[in-house]
Amino acid sequence: MRVSYQWLKDYVDIQITPQELADRLTLSGLAVDTVDELGTEIENVVTGRIVKIEKHPNADKLVVCQVDVGQEELLQIVTGATNVREGHVIPVALEGAKLAEGLQIKRSKLRGVESRGMLCSGQELGMETRLLSPDMANGILILPEDVPVGLDAKEILGLNDAVLELDLTPNRGDALSMIGVARDVAALLNTELKIPVPQFQENNEKIDKLAKIDIEDIDLCRRYVGRVIKGIKIGPSPIWLQNRLRAAGIRPISNVVDVTNYVMLEMGQPLHAFDYDKIANHHIIVRRAQEDEKIISLDGVERTLNPEMLAITDEAGPVAVAGVMGGLESEVTDATINILVESAYFHPINVRRTSKALGLRSESSMRFEKGIDINGCLRAADRALQLMQQLAGGMVVSGTIDKFPNPITEKTILLRPKRVNWVLGVDIPKQEIMRIMESLQFRVQEQEGDILVTVPTFRPDISGEWDLVEEVVRLYGFNQIPETLPFGATSQGVRTAEQQMNWDMRRIMTSCGFYEVVTYGFVHPRIFDLMNLPKDSIFRNCVKLQNPLSEEQSIMRTVLVPSLLEVLQKNSNRRAQSGAIFEIARVFYPQEGQPLPEEVPVLAAVAYGNTQKTWNQPARPMDYYFMKGVVEQLMEGLGAASTAFSRHQDPSFHPGRCAKIEVAGRMLGVVGELHPNVVENYELPSRAVAVKLDLKVLAEVNRPVKQYQGLPKFPTMERDLAVLVKLEVPAAEMLSIIQRAAGELLKETDIFDVYQGSQVPEGYKSVAFSMKFQAKDRTLTDEEINEKMQRITKSLFAQTGAELRK
């Protein structure tokens, strides 16, 4: 909201500077972003009248003007402007004048002809060209003919003003008007608020015989006021009205249209002026639009309506989109002589949805969206009639059509001074609280030590006592509340077990070279085919959205890996040769008989390509063993129980390069290389590996409290063992057998070699194990280690058919 300082002074006696006013408003809750002092660079520019125009003797595109600026002699000024004519009143920069952007005017010669000043355009005076009429946007500024010459052009053009740019919160729709802001200013400065009282002349005609208004949908239009003025003359607005509209960021159009915009800015009530003679049978019908009903709006664009939108129609069809914009067929033109003024209250949410659906946001829709004063509709219509009669002539038709099916009464709220002071921690006298309420034009009445506050309908944001407390403190002054230290019981903020586990997982995954991503929980149904899932897969049973934003986001995901693959696909399309990402999120499973799905937390990670090369580590492929190592690092960092990997079949993973992850005997997830079909479906440049973990299971087996023990005092004993075993025997099974046979003395077991070749029989493989033995209370002897090795060997032979490699 742009607020003109000079315009504001019409309603409030302001004795402080614009910057001081901005500071006071900001402290009261109406934040002022900027204060734009207009015309600060402009000096020595006056109004002048062109008396004579002659061709330049030495230049075809220049003319020589004789200009009357109120001095004894005419000024000779050379210009190349094409929009000036004899008799035009224009701003003239005299010798020594200063213009916008530091331009200074000196006496000069143009093609041999002396020029003693310059005719000024709006841009040269620092005005926004978008707020000027098309003929003046790129030419000299033409002023009304009745403007006297020799006056300070800054004052005539409203450039001796300051514009305050307000950053309003959504609840303060009342401050989207000059009077709304003036009301707060008057309360802050403890001075009188002057609100104009509409006065105009009416003829003897009765409006009931000239127009008819019907509201078919009172839920979307709770009030509609219509008034008629006849015999007006369309023309340009006076300069003062144009200046105020430009200060507010609105381009002047004509006197009637400018009045509707002026009253909207002044009172916060959007208005619309229809050409009365273009309304079929002079009958306004407020109803929902029909499916695919068309209207050409004032901006010349044909728009398609639907039954969710409210339309203003006549008996022939739509003439306006309620609360958003009028129609082209009923617009006010130079030929208009009779006007039907609309002042209405439309449902804020419906206006917002209509504006968004049409891609059309206007000054009117912005105000309707935030809520206007339903009891101010008639007052705003009368104010518009007063100004139209004053500026365009005509006679107001007697009477008003006011459709107001369910009048709204003002709210009365009990305000307790003791409660106010307890909440704010101050001691504000009751009389001061009452004064603050009355300064905001709230009516007050004492009741047994408390205050009954009647809130006018222009403040729909006030709904309870807490809102009144806020009004008290913002006008009393936040800076007057003393600083105090907090008191009472305090507690240390800590993360929950789930939050800490997620925090640790993020730290570990990023340390392994992964980037965290955040994707949408809504996905496309085709992901199940892309992930190679069979038709009877349980993951295809998903929650479907009733109102999806698009088909791309029509269901809630049951698997997380596809979302990550889409991210990697986009990166691959942009020539990323490798990538490693993860996400901690939730998947959603429908629950029979329950309105909401089951939300299961999961971790998924996907990688392809090679790891990044570092100063001490070469690049290596991100294959199954890489991802398995990441999982082991993750489990070790979380302190989870012993982790086991065993062969597994999953339709989304490679049939021979996939393993299930078990912790404490429970299945935690799956890790492996993605199926070649999946990699091809997502157009990745190389093999990809993935892991998916059920964090609900992980939370149950996680050991967040780490147990520390002293460093061992006794040395370790190391032994190696190489055996021949059939190819189908899993290495994980052999590790488990070794651990059970060796018992607690075996501290660590690693596979350091797997070999197949000419020295190994066909169908067999050679597996070599490295083992470390250690006791807490003694140094182990060779006899003890040999006995353990014999037990390990016998167990392997008996359970896997292995034999020692010779």
The 10 Å Cβ neighbour count of residue 123 is 17
d(CA 25, CA 19): 10
d(CA 244, CA 260): 13
d(CA 333, CA 257): 10
Q: Are 437 and 420 in contact (CB under 8 A)?
A: no
Going by their DSSP bridges, the two strands 688-694 and 598-608 should be labelled as antiparallel
Q: What is the DSSP string of 690-724?
A: EEEEEHHHHHHH---S----PPPSS--EEEEEEEE
Using CB atoms within 10 Å of the CB of residue 445, give its burial: 0 to 12 exposed, 13 to 18 middle, 19+ buried: exposed
The pair of three-digit structure tokens given for residue 518, joined into one six-digit string: 């955040």
Q: Is 146 annotated as a binding residue?
A: no
* Nearest to 564, CA basis, from 617, 527, 610, 614: 527
Q: Is 471 annotated as a binding residue?
A: yes
Residue 173 dihedral angles phi and psi, to the nearest 5°? -65, -25
* Nearest to 1, CA basis, from 17, 25, 27: 25
Q: Please identify which residue in the block is written with the tokens 């570092």.
A: 614
Q: Is 60 annotated as a binding residue?
A: no
d(CA 240, CA 7): 10
SS (H, E, C) 205-262: EEHHHCCEEEECCCCCEEEEEEEEEECCCCCCCCHHHHHHHHHCCCCCCCHHHHHHHH
d(CA 449, CA 434): 12
Question: Buried (b) or exposed (e) across 265-287, using 16+ Cβ within 10 A?
Answer: bbbbbbbbbbbbebbeebebbbb
Q: Please identify which residue in the block is written with the tokens 């003929």.
A: 135
Q: Are 598 and 610 in contact (CB under 8 A)?
A: no
Q: What is the DSSP string of 95-111?
A: EEEE-GGG-B---EEET
Q: Is 438 annotated as a binding residue?
A: no
Q: Are 142 and 82 in contact (CB under 8 A)?
A: no
Provide the annotated binding site for Mg(2+).
Answer: 461, 467, 470-471
Provide the annotated binding site.
Answer: 461, 467, 470-471
